Amino acid sequence: MYDSGKIITGIVIFVILVTFPIWYNLGRATPPPDPKIDTPVIQALTEKKCIEPKSQMKYTHMKILDEWRHTVVRTQERIYTAADGKQYDMSLQNTCMKCHSNKTQFCDQCHNYLQVKPYCWDCHIAPKEKK
Amino acid sequence: MGLNRRDFLKIAGISGLMGLGGKAALEVLRPGELEASLPKAPPTVAKHWAMVIDTRKLKTEEDLQRCIDACHRTHNVPKIPSAKEEIKWIWTEAYKNAFPDDEHEHLAESVEHKKFLTFCNHCTNPPCVRVCPTQATFKRADGIVMMDFHRCIGCRFCMAGCPYGSRSFNWGDPRRYLKEPTNPAFPTRSKGVVEKCNFCEDRLAKGQHPACVEASNGALVFGDLANPNSEVRKLLKENYAIRRKPGLGTYPNLFYLV
């Protein structure tokens, strides 16, 4: 092999660069997300329950919100009837955030961990939080 | 198979009467009963929203400004000093600019130097809806020309289509000029979307009339054009009203009494 020294050095440098993120983060585990629900409104609830069961909300909240924004804006249906028959005003800003008033401790926890950047907050106003 | 032609025709006839003509047949047999059994519409639902603007009652600059402030406060509309970037849902215009078709050099003095409130006309034939490539702007069944900000891609075709200048584009993040949202229950907009007056559909959903109407002390009247007994229809019957650029065939739904 011609120029084996240069090629092998090159390959070694390449492999080091490509695997940099892996060994750089080795042993430094990012803490798993820990969304908090200790807001005053939730604390005051007798039955601490979201509009649908927690297990379902975890996986489908984005679908529910996507559906809501469509039905409210485009078909003017503003009332959501949950599986248990309770009715809610379909509004991220006025319904969800009334209980989950801690956006940084609730929404952002998982969103940051999973590197998802929903653009809800470009327009919708998050409740003020105490720092 | 025991169904002969005679039986088949009998069954078909009866089911046709029950299915298609059932409602109408009921109406013939017991008039009024059907009407009463249908749910009554709340007053904030209409077939054809329209507004009558009595410019004779809007005398001073403060009267106009009060309406503008009420609207912009309700919808978190920022005050941007640069005219090129300004966002406006409702604003004022001189007669010759608002009604260029009806302008001539011997205008009445009461009109010549007056400012007129202008905002989205919620046209019956809206050019902005026609040109929108994503259907972010659409016409609701009740006549409101509505914007779905989630869908707007900021192409600004609607701004080119609107002959009234009712639309503004967010060249930057509007929150730069809106340190504190004036209405925390309503969203702001983001960079790169077009916005305009929504006939306060957010307030209508809550059973309230538009913010400008509430602030106008009776100069602005909002109502159902399809209802012959509505206040807007009465005003239009009794007064001569003009519309902005009627020759374009957009059929605006703002009527001005001058």
Assembly ipTM? 0.80
pLDDT tens-place string over residues A1-45: 899 999 999 999 999 999 998 888 888 777 888 899 989 999 999
Q: What is the pLDDT, as a whole number, of residue B175? A: 94
Confidence of residue A46 (pLDDT cuts 50, 70, 90): confident
At B63, which amino acid appears? Answer: D
Q: How many CB atoms lie within 10 A of CB A126?
A: 18
Residue B103: burial class (beta carbons within 10 Å; 0-12, 13-18, 19+) = middle
The residue-averaged pLDDT of B99-114 equals 91
Give the closest of B184, B191, B201 to A125, CB-based.
B184
From chain A, pick out residues whose CB is under 8 angstroms from the CB of B173.
122
pLDDT tens-place string over residues B12-39: 888 877 776 555 555 555 544 444 443 3
Structural domains of chain B, count: 2
Q: Do A76 and B187 touch (CB under 8 A)?
A: no
Q: What is the pLDDT, as a whole number, of residue B18? A: 72
A-B CB pairs within 8 A amount to 33
Q: What is the pLDDT, as a whole number, of residue B24? A: 55
Interface check for B154 against chain A (CB to CB < 8 A): the answer is no
From chain A, pick out residues whose CB is under 8 angstroms from the CB of B76.
125
Q: What is the pLDDT, as a whole number, of residue A26? A: 84
pLDDT tens-place string over residues B187-207: 999 999 999 999 999 999 999
Given a cut of 90, whether residue B230 has pLDDT beyond it is: yes
CA–CA min distance A103, chain B (Å): 15
Interface check for A124 against chain B (CB to CB < 8 A): the answer is yes
Please give the Cα distance from B93 to B104 (Å, whole number).
Answer: 16
Nearest CA in chain B to A71: B148
Q: Is B22 in the same domain as B126?
A: no
Question: How does the average pLDDT of chain B come out, rounded?
Answer: 89
CA–CA min distance B210, chain A (Å): 17
Q: Do B187 and A93 touch (CB under 8 A)?
A: yes
| Inside any domain, residue B44 | no
Q: For testing the chain A interface, which of B150, B176, B186, B206 should be mutated: the one with the most A CBs within 10 Å?
A: B150
| Residue B88 and residue B77 in contact, taking contact as beta carbons nearer than 8 Å | yes
Q: Is B27 in the same domain as B143?
A: no
Nearest CA in chain B to A93: B185
Please give the Cα distance from B227 to B234 (Å, whole number).
Answer: 10
Interface check for A49 against chain B (CB to CB < 8 A): the answer is no
Q: Is B196 in the same domain as B69?
A: yes
A40 φψ region: left (φ > 0), alpha (ψ -120 to 50), beta (else): alpha
Q: Is B33 in the same domain as B53?
A: no
pLDDT tens-place string over residues B54-79: 999 999 999 999 999 999 999 999 99
| Inside any domain, residue B180 | yes
Q: Is B224 in the same domain as B126?
A: yes
* Three-state SS sequence of A56-90: HHHHHHHHHHHHHHHHHHHHCCCEEECCCCCEEEC
> Which residues make Cβ contacts (< 8 Å) with residue B171, sequence separation at least 6?
B84, B85, B191
Interface check for B41 against chain A (CB to CB < 8 A): the answer is no
Q: Is B85 in the same domain as B147?
A: yes
| Residue B61 and residue B115 in contact, taking contact as beta carbons nearer than 8 Å | yes
From chain A, pick out residues whose CB is under 8 angstroms from the CB of B190.
119, 122-123
Angle, CA of B6, B7 and B13, to the nearest 5°: 90
| Inside any domain, residue B91 | yes
The residue-averaged pLDDT of B85-89 equals 95
Nearest CA in chain A to B173: A122
Q: Is B234 in the same domain as B110?
A: yes
Alpha-helix residue ranges (DSSP H) falling in chain B: 5-19, 22-29, 33-37, 61-74, 95-98, 109-112, 127-131, 157-161, 201-204, 211-215, 231-238
From chain A, pick out residues whose CB is under 8 angstroms from the CB of B149.
123
CA atoms within 13 A on the CB side of B4: 1
Cross-strand partners of A56: none
Task: Find the domain containing B80 and state its range.
Answer: 49-257
Interface check for A119 against chain B (CB to CB < 8 A): the answer is yes
Chain A from 55 to 94: CB within 8 A of any B CB:
69-70, 73-74, 76, 78, 93-94
Q: Do A76 and B185 touch (CB under 8 A)?
A: no
pLDDT tens-place string over residues A54-94: 999 999 999 999 999 999 999 999 999 999 999 999 999 99
Angle, CA of B88, B156 and B152, to the nearest 5°: 90
At B54, which amino acid appears? Answer: D
Q: Is B22 in the same domain as B81?
A: no
Q: Give the residue carrying structure tokens 């002959």.
A: B163
Q: What is the pLDDT, as a whole number, of residue B34? A: 46
| Inside any domain, residue B170 | yes
| Inside any domain, residue B42 | no
Q: Is B63 in the same domain as B175?
A: yes
CA–CA min distance B185, chain A (Å): 6
Q: Is B137 in the same domain as B222?
A: yes
Q: Is B27 in the same domain as B68?
A: no
Q: Which residues of A23-44 are buried (b: 16+ CB within 10 A; e: fewer)?
A: eeeeeeeeeeeeeebebeebee
Q: Which residues of B152-185 are buried (b: 16+ CB within 10 A; e: fewer)?
A: beebebbbebbbbebbbbbeeebbebbeeeebee
pLDDT tens-place string over residues B118-162: 999 999 999 999 999 999 999 999 999 999 999 999 999 999 999
CA–CA min distance A74, chain B (Å): 7
Cross-strand partners of B91: B118
Q: What is the pLDDT, as a whole number, of residue B40? A: 39
Q: Check which CATH number belongs to the domain holding B179 and give it.
A: 3.30.70.20
Given a cut of 60, whether residue B3 has pLDDT beyond it is: yes
Reference B187, options A72, A20, A46; nearest CA is A72
Of residues B24 and B252, more confidence is placed in B252
Given a cut of 60, whether residue B42 has pLDDT beyond it is: no
Q: What is the pLDDT, as a whole number, of residue B32? A: 46
- Helix count (H) and strand count (E) of chain B? 11, 10
From chain B, pick out residues whose CB is under 8 angstroms from the CB of A74.
138, 146, 148
At A52, which amino acid appears? Answer: E
From chain A, pick out residues whose CB is under 8 angstroms from the CB of B154.
none
Q: Is B19 in the same domain as B97?
A: no
| Residue B252 and residue B225 in contact, taking contact as beta carbons nearer than 8 Å | no
| Inside any domain, residue B43 | no
